Structures are given as structure tokens and as C-alpha cells.
Structure 1
Amino acid sequence: MKKILLTTLNSRFTHTSIALRYLYANLKELQNDAKIIEFSINDAIQTIAEKLLTHSPQIIGIGVYIWNALEVRELIHIIKKISPNTKIVLGGPEVSHEPFRVNLDSADFIIQGEGDEAFYRLCRDIFDGLANQRVIKMSMPSLKNVELPYKFYTDDDIKNRYIYVEASRGCPFECEFCLSSMDEKVRAFDIELFLSELELLWKRGARNFKFIDRTFNLNIKTANRLLDFFLEKEEMSPYFAHFEVVPDHFPESLKEKIASFPHGALQLEIGIQTLNPDIANNISRPLKLDKIKENIRFLENETNAHIHLDLIVGLPGESLESFGANLDELVSLSSCEIQIGILKKLSGTYINRHDIEYGMVYSDIPPYDVLQTSTLSFFDIQIMKRFSRFWDLTYNSGNFKESVKLIWQDESVFENFYAFSLWIYTQTDSTWQISLQRLGELLFKYLCEVKKIDAKDIAKNMLNDMMKLEGRVVPNYLKPYAENIEKNKKHGTSGFNKRQQ
């Protein structure tokens, strides 16, 4: 039995909570009385409560995020019904800034801000009967005093989940939609200590690292040290390292190292959000367009890195035409993954200053999506949510990477995919639970019947896309074309050489 339980509901099973491990690492003499128990939002809430209360804890600390706030509210309700004397302490972004849009009044204590040291002090006060302040507002702790959490990833975590790490906290930019803009400055952990912890993780078998630093390449000296760490491991075994980077800050020393990584080892996430200077100015986002384009071209043409670009629908003042121009531009620069998100109004951010001028209307239910603006109707945003989903299924998934380009060929990506997303929704009336077979059939049908492209040309592209993985079965709607290709191949008239089953 443990007196203190640390828990959260991760968005997926493969995720781990670095925050819980920071709290555990800094519990000092209370550590032996504490335990980390993680769940996912797909777990039944009553089962979660049962597994927690089995330990008869005196304190349960829960991390609250945009993806689990509603589930945490239900979890607190059940725990307090069954064990009213158990003290519940909440922390995390969803309770660090007001207003609280999810009712969490049943919680006993709330820590706002970085709780590495504050949670320990609160637990001690609870045990001593001295805790009397429900909401505890924290200033940022000195990172020199914070114990690192990495030894508390379990062997099971290392084997089955992503390992989250950070070399720094904070962001120097003031983008109004982002909670990181609330930080006063970027603070770095001791690089030597951090690298030694990274080495220990590596020796234990960790190979999937996701850096949560908001600006990995802000400090070039540190960025180079971290890239060197992984490049030195290149001959040992395959690995995956994910970094979020500033798009306009790639000096030659950094470019040289990024270009040295093998295929599949490095992923770089770049928050573009918009390429429209007026819209970027609205949200206080610096935008050095020439540098951004130059660096995306470099990453596309001279490296093996997997690139993930972000665009946001619904920014103050941005129209569909402006968003479409952004997408067209990015696709012209790179064939990489482009994540299309919907603007969210997070408590504590400054995005609310645009509400009146740009008619911004948001949902008060997580994830707090924008519902309409002065330039986008509710129906426009609904269409763009479906656009985003179908874009993920066809383009970002990689299943139809070349075939989907037949939708637009040399014309506007946005306008043509917009028309496709409208059409496919009329066929499915859903954006979920569409099998790969069904999706392929619909794409084939659209290209044949709407775009009037020759079926043989479509089939050749789709077979090249879909049969890249050895052992895939040729879908029924492509079998006649695959048989013809196989016949031609035997006569030396086709380069198609994928296995058909």
C-alpha cells in the first residue's frame, strides 16, 4: 500500500508522463511511500478508480490536460464518493490558468505552474495537518534544484512506449495561441548531467526519444551536442529522435549534422501555423518567410529527416483562401507530413484579445475548438475538420502518397482536395472507421469518375503506393490492373515488381 499515488490519463498507451516522474523524483523522503500508476483515456473510469483505491492512498496527484479534463472530472467524482477522505491534488496545464472551463471543484488542492518542488511540500503539509491553501500558485523553480526523472522510466516503458525528455523549458516567442508564450524565458538543464542521464537510458535499451523542448535549435551549441549524442550511436542500433525546431534558425553547423542522420532516425516538427504575414502579425508570431522556405527546402532535398509541418485553421482574420495559399505553398516546398489543426482557445493565452474584432466564438468544452470567426462560418470550420481528417487518412498516412497527388496534379492543392473532401463525405457520412480498402476504393472512384483520369494510370500509381510493404494483398478493385501489369512485366514492358498475393 502506498500513501501517495501519482496518476494521469495519457492520450495513448504508447505515451508516458514525464511530469509524474518529475514529481516522483523530487519527493525526497516521501518517495518510498509513493507510486506512479498511468492509464489512458480509453480505460474505463470506474476501473481506474478501483485500481487507485486498491492502494488505500491518502493523497492522489492527478495530471490534468486538455485531452483528459472531462475524464478526470468523472474520476474525481467517483473517488470522492467512495473515499471522501482521500486528498486529491491536481496539476498540469488545464488547471494552471483560469478560467477553469471544466468543473473540478471536488479536488482538494490545485498546484498552478511547475510542481516539481511544490508537490513535495504540499504532501508533507498534508501529512502534518498544515495544508490550508487550496490553490497554490508557483513561480518557476530553478532547474539546478530539480532532480531529473529519467531513472524512473521502467523497463516496460523503455520497451513499449516513447521516452519523453527535455533539455530545456520555456519559449522566447509570444505566439498568442500557445501556453508556452506565458513563460518569461528559456531555461536550460545542465547539459552534462542531462547527457549522462540520456546515456543511461540508452544503455537500458531506450531507442524512442521525444524531446519536448519548445525550441530545440534555439541554443545551437546545445543542439549540436544533442545531435552528436545520437550520431555517435549510429552504428549501434536503429533509433528514433523527435525534436521541435524553430523554422528560421538553421546555421551551417546544424545543417551539416542534420544531413548526416540516416533515414528513419530523425523527426523534426516545425510549427508553421500560417505563412500569411498579416495573420502572423495578428498573433504576435515572428515570420521570416525567406528563411523558413529556404530551410524547408534544405530539409526536403538534402536530408533524410522526417519532417512534420503544422498549419492552423481559424486564426484571427485568416480566410479559407489565405489558408489554402498556405497549404499550396507548403506542398510546393516539401512532400512531408502536414498536420492541419483547428485553433483552440486555451485558458491563460492572449488569443482572447481578438474575440470582438474578429468575431471569435469558441467551444467551452475541451478541446476548446474555435467554432466560427468573422472570416470562417461554423459550416466552413466543420468542413475543414473533415478536410483535415481526410488529409490525414490519404496524404499524411503515406498509404496513398503519390496517388492522392492525382487529385490536384499541377493545380491548387487546397481547392482540389477541398472538393475531394466534400465528395468523399457524401459517400461515407463519417470521417472515422473507414477501412483502408474502402478508402482506396473511394479514391479510385473519385479519380476515375470525377477527375476523369484513365483507370490504368490511377491503378499503376495506387499499386505502387499500396504494395510498398512486402506481403500486402492486392485489393479486389485493383486486381485486373495488377494482373495486366504482371503480364507486361513478364514481357519486359513494365517496371512494376511488387509481390501480388
Structure 2
Amino acid sequence: MNQIENKNIILTTLNSRFSHSSLSLRYLFANLKELKDEAKILEFVINSQNQTIAEEILAYKPKIVAISTYIWNATDVEEIVKYIKLISPSTIVALGGPEVSYLPHRVDFNMADYFMFGEGEVSVYNLCKNILGGIRPKDKIIQAKPVEFDKIELPYDYYTDFDIKNRHIYIESSRGCPFTCEFCLSSIDSSMRYLPTDVFINEIDKLWNRGARNYKFIDRTFNLKISYAKAILEYFLAKDEDYFLHFEVIPDNFPLELRELLKQFKAGSLQLEVGIQTLNLDVAKTINRNLKMEKIKDNLSFLSNETNAHMHIDLIVGLPGETIESFRENLDLLYTLSNGEIQIGILKKLSGTTLSRHDEVYGMVYNPNPPYDILKNNQIDFSLMQDMKRFARFWDIVYNSGNFIKTSKLLFKDGKVFDNFFDFSKWIYKRSESTFKISLDRVAEYLFEYLGQMYDEELIVKTILDDVMTVEGRKIPPFLKRYKKYEKEFIQIELNKANRRQILRKDNEE
């Protein structure tokens, strides 16, 4: 058995997926100065065995364990902290991250020794230095001031070669958000801080030279400062190799100079997360969100029709003052404005936001446990809110997955996107009794069964086949093979697949 080297400091978290990596841990490590040799980053994934995680952490015999805590890992962190303190009471546990930086804590973290509020690059170093030097701060809550973003050490050298090959590489050119949307923690830091352009481009370049080709920018408003956005886009446009970029953008700021650059990106290289949230001007005003509707419509049309960008467009269910009728209008309109994915989210009340000021007026009731999603309000009762949560899940499976693009259009006849999909989501939930672990073949069969009430069988079969067989390597759904009268179509599909494989083999041989 290999001997594990003892480390005084463990920086750890649980990511939501294996393909994700923690930028925050790498920032903390980069700024530990002379303590770096005494520290180690350990990353885990939610839904793992928490006792095993505690075992792996304590195997290094750390004096300090700092855990980055988020809404998706909060309950796991609670359990891991308890295990660490029960097994090794002398180990100091410090929690940081957005889930612990604001009160009230709605998960029981009381067994932790310290809570690091705010940006931790300086405060975590100071805490570790003091504890290792024999000084225990008296206050359990350590409130950090915003760091000087252009003066801290950057974290990108601490992505490993394994990370670069197997995980998303998260990067940021700025911190802060100038907008004041009440549901979002980013609105708390309204000042914008940027790295010098040449410094940031140099960091990207170092990652590129190490083989990084998958970049997820976590800037809240990538296209706010156009000159900065241009410099980054121009850097990647000069590259001949394939890559993937993800940006969060505001929907109303795409001037001509930015448009000309975006049009040059080829398909599959650019993904834009576009925050809409609501198209109801009164609701937007209630939550301090500024909507410029004409600009939004024009820019969504441009992105859909003149670029190859893949879009994720956000709509939220349950906003204060938003009725189900208003949400219906939002979805129906947004479907006509864009061909991108429409991400239907459920409102969450995060500690630190000002959403609670609406609770009494709109009867807002939230889940007391993570993810703190809304349960009901004066406009949408609990039963309907449950329907909408299932609606959002089935929307992802059918529409956002891209697996049923043509078949979805059969569902959305007469432009009644919301009404028709709502009826379908109610039907499929009753039929499947589940919203998870439904295979592609099973979804196709449910669509076939449901649409059979409205359309000619041959049209449905051909439409579903067109969708399912778009992806190379897929097989004809088993339920369709029961319909012998379509055997000719099935044989032709298999012949086409064989021809494609033969062409591919020849290309490879040449």
C-alpha cells in the first residue's frame, strides 16, 4: 500500500459532476504563498459515499480542512463535517463559498470551526497561517473584503494535465455584476473588476499550449465590456484547431463590432447562456431586472439566424407576481424568437438575496432544504408548482436534449407551445410515474403513443425515426420494429448506415 504524504492543509469540495473542476480551490491554493507545499487539493463528486470522502481527507492527517460549499453539495458537506469532527476532533474545519457566506444558514453546519464569508483568497491564507502558527481566531465568522482582483495570484497553472484532458476548464476575466436582479447572489457585488486584458489572454494562451480546448467562462456578463470581449473572441478566432467556449451574456448588448466576430465562429465552437428569466415587464420591474424588449428580440433573432452559436436561454417559474398565464406567454413568445435551448428553471430563494421582501405580499413559500426551490405562491398553488417542476424536467428530456427536434414541432401545433407541452407532461408523468431514468427508446415510444391521438401513424413513425437516427450509431427503437409495414423504411435506414460506415472506412484508409 502506498504511503500517503501528510498535508497540513486540505482544500476540498464536491463537484456536481466528474467533468467539472473547482476554480475556487485553485484560487485558494494559488494564494497560499509559502504554505503551498503543506497543502493539497482534493475534489470529489456529489452522491459519493461521504464516509469514504472523510476517510480520504483524514488519510493526509490534516490540521486544517477547508471546504468550498455550494447549494448542490451543502447536505453532503454537513455530513462530512460531522464525520471529520467525530473522528478527528482536533482537525480544524473551515467552510467557505456562497452557501455559507450569507445568513441564515439553512443547513446545520454548526460543527464546523470557522465560516469564511466572501472571497477567500486572502482570508483563507491568513487563517491557515495563524492556525499553523499556534493562533486560533476567536470569531467563528471571518468576513473577508473583496480582493484586489488584479493583484492576487491566478489559479490556472494548477489545473493538472488530467484536468485539461478530461474536465471543463473554468476561467474568469472579471468579477461582479452591475445588475440588481433580486434572485441572484451576483447582484450583491455590483462593482465590476477586470484583469488586465494582456494578463488574462496570456493565461488563456498558457492553457491552450498545454492542450486545453474546452473553456467555460464564469463571468456573469461577458459582453458588458465590449473591448474586452472582442480581445478574447479574436484570440480564439485566430486558432485553426477545434475548441469549445461557453459564455454567460446579457441579451441586450450585441453591437455591430461584436456581431461581426460572433458570426465567424463555426458550429459547435460557441455556446451562449442568455439570461432572460421573464419577458413580463411588470414582473421584471418587481425583481429589479431591466428589460429592453426590442433589443432582446433583435439580438435573439441575430444570434438564431446569423450565427452558429448554441444558445441556452433561461426562463424562471415562480417569480413574484408571475402568473402561470404570464409564464405561458413568455414561453410561447420565446419559442418564436429563438431556436436555442430554453432552460426552464424553478425560482430558488438563496440567503443573501432580497427575495424575502416579497414573501408576505405574494405568499411565497419555499423548500427549507437545498435547493430552496419555491413550493407555492399566491399565483401558483403547490399542485400546479409540482406540475411545473415536472414540466421543466420533461422539457429537458424532449426539447432541450435535441433528440426530438422534429417530433417536438408536432407537439407544438397551432403555436400553443406551453399548453400543448403542459398536457403532454401531465400525460407522460401519469404514464411513466417518473421523471428520471427514462431511456431514449422509452421517450420515443411515449411520444409515438401520445401523438397517435392527433396525427397519422406513418407521419409519426417517420418523424421519430428522422430524429432518433440523426445520431450515428443509434439503433431503430425496438417498439417500432413491431410495425412490419414499415420494414422497407427500416431496411433502408440500415443500408444507409452501412454505406456511411463504408465511406468512413475508405476515408480513413486514404
What's the RMSD between the two structures over aligned residues? 1.6
For the residue of structure 2 that corresponds to 1:46, the secondary structure is helix
Aligned to 2:105: 100
AA partner of residue 224 (structure 1) = K
How far residue 498 of structure 1 moved from its aligned partner, in angstroms, is 5.7
**TM-score normalised by length of structure 1:** 0.96
- Give yes or no for the alignment of 1:274 onto 2:275: no
> Does the C-alpha gap of structure 1 residues 218 and 481 become closer, same or farther in structure 2, counting only changes over 3 Å?
farther
How far residue 42 of structure 1 moved from its aligned partner, in angstroms, is 2.3
State which of 211, 218, 221 in structure 1 corresponds to 2:227: 221
How far residue 51 of structure 1 moved from its aligned partner, in angstroms, is 0.4
Aligned to 2:467: 465
State which of 305, 321, 336 in structure 1 corresponds to 2:340: 336
State which of 243, 252, 276 in structure 2 corresponds to 1:239: 243
For the residue of structure 2 that corresponds to 1:394, the secondary structure is helix
- Give yes or no for the alignment of 1:397 onto 2:401: yes
How far residue 486 of structure 1 moved from its aligned partner, in angstroms, is 5.9
- Give yes or no for the alignment of 1:6 onto 2:11: yes
For the residue of structure 2 that corresponds to 1:307, the secondary structure is strand
Kept after mapping to 2: 8 A contact 1:60/1:86: yes
State how many pairs are aligned.
492
CA distance in 2: counterparts of 1:177 and 1:254, whole angstroms: 29
Kept after mapping to 2: 8 A contact 1:456/1:481: no
State which of 27, 36, 43 in structure 2 corresponds to 1:38: 43
How far residue 497 of structure 1 moved from its aligned partner, in angstroms, is 5.3
**CA displacement 1:299-331 (0-9 Å, x = unmatched):** 000000001100000000111111011111111
Kept after mapping to 2: 8 A contact 1:467/1:498: no
CA distance in 2: counterparts of 1:373 and 1:385, whole angstroms: 14
AA partner of residue 461 (structure 1) = T
CA distance in 1: counterparts of 2:91 and 2:52, whole angstroms: 17
> Does the C-alpha gap of structure 1 residues 478 and 55 become closer, same or farther in structure 2, counting only changes over 3 Å?
same
For the residue of structure 1 that corresponds to 2:67, the secondary structure is strand
CA distance in 1: counterparts of 2:339 and 2:83, whole angstroms: 48
> Where in structure 1 are there 5+ consecutive unaligned residues?
491-495
Kept after mapping to 2: 8 A contact 1:468/1:498: no
State which of 252, 256, 263 in structure 2 corresponds to 1:252: 256
Aligned to 1:422: 426
How far residue 190 of structure 1 moved from its aligned partner, in angstroms, is 1.6
How far residue 337 of structure 1 moved from its aligned partner, in angstroms, is 0.6
Kept after mapping to 2: 8 A contact 1:310/1:338: yes
- Give yes or no for the alignment of 1:373 onto 2:353: no
CA distance in 2: counterparts of 1:196 and 1:486, whole angstroms: 53
Aligned to 1:89: 94
CA distance in 2: counterparts of 1:394 and 1:299, whole angstroms: 23
**TM-score normalised by length of structure 2:** 0.94
How far residue 482 of structure 1 moved from its aligned partner, in angstroms, is 4.8
State which of 444, 450, 464 in structure 1 corresponds to 2:448: 444
For the residue of structure 2 that corresponds to 1:48, the secondary structure is helix
For the residue of structure 1 that corresponds to 2:362, the secondary structure is coil
Aligned to 1:311: 315
Aligned to 2:388: 384
Aligned to 2:457: 455
> Does the C-alpha gap of structure 1 residues 488 and 13 become closer, same or farther in structure 2, counting only changes over 3 Å?
closer
CA distance in 2: counterparts of 1:377 and 1:484, whole angstroms: 50
Kept after mapping to 1: 8 A contact 2:170/2:215: yes
CA distance in 1: counterparts of 2:480 and 2:255, whole angstroms: 47
Aligned to 1:152: 158
Aligned to 1:197: 203
- Give yes or no for the alignment of 1:140 onto 2:146: yes
- Give yes or no for the alignment of 1:77 onto 2:82: yes
**CA displacement 1:5-51 (0-9 Å, x = unmatched):** 00000011110000000000000000010000000102110010000
- Give yes or no for the alignment of 1:293 onto 2:297: yes
> Where in structure 2 are there 5+ consecutive unaligned residues?
1-5, 502-510
Aligned to 1:19: 24
AA partner of residue 219 (structure 1) = K
Kept after mapping to 2: 8 A contact 1:171/1:181: yes
List aligned pairs for 1:355-366, cutoff 5 A.
355-366=359-370
> Does the C-alpha gap of structure 1 residues 272 and 489 become closer, same or farther in structure 2, counting only changes over 3 Å?
closer
Aligned to 1:493: none
Identity of aligned residues (%): 54
State which of 120, 123, 132 in structure 2 corresponds to 1:118: 123
State which of 463, 478, 481 in structure 1 corresponds to 2:480: 478
AA partner of residue 91 (structure 1) = G
**CA displacement 1:436-481 (0-9 Å, x = unmatched):** 11111000000002xx200111111111111011221111233346
